[in-house]
Amino acid sequence: NFIKKYPKSPLADDAQYWIGESYMLLKQYEQAILAFQRVIKKYPKGNKVPNAILRQALAFYEIKDKTSAKLLLKKLIKKYPKSNEAKIAKAKLRTIK
């Protein structure tokens, strides 16, 4: 409702991100992937994008799509090399076989 009512709000990307997190907690990983994709697409310059990419990669990992998970982790590291999310992505990549 917040996003519909205030689509131009500086908090709209945060609201969309937390929708994705809610799906993650419910273990509805496909829905989470879609919600995080909306963050990436609709708010490409937002501060939640690196985290959305990371969480999307982890959701792919949970549904056993390791290829997509690896691709997203590598994309995150390349696009946001100095971010905390990139550090987490590097560690996660080392554990995916």
pLDDT digits (tens, 9 = 90+) for 12-56: 999 999 999 999 999 999 999 999 999 999 999 999 999 999 999
Q: What angle do CA 14, 70, 79 make, to 5 degrees?
A: 55
Total-model pTM? 0.94
Q: Is residue 97 pLDDT above 90, yes or no?
A: no
Tokens linked to 74: 């590598």
* E strand spans, the chain: none
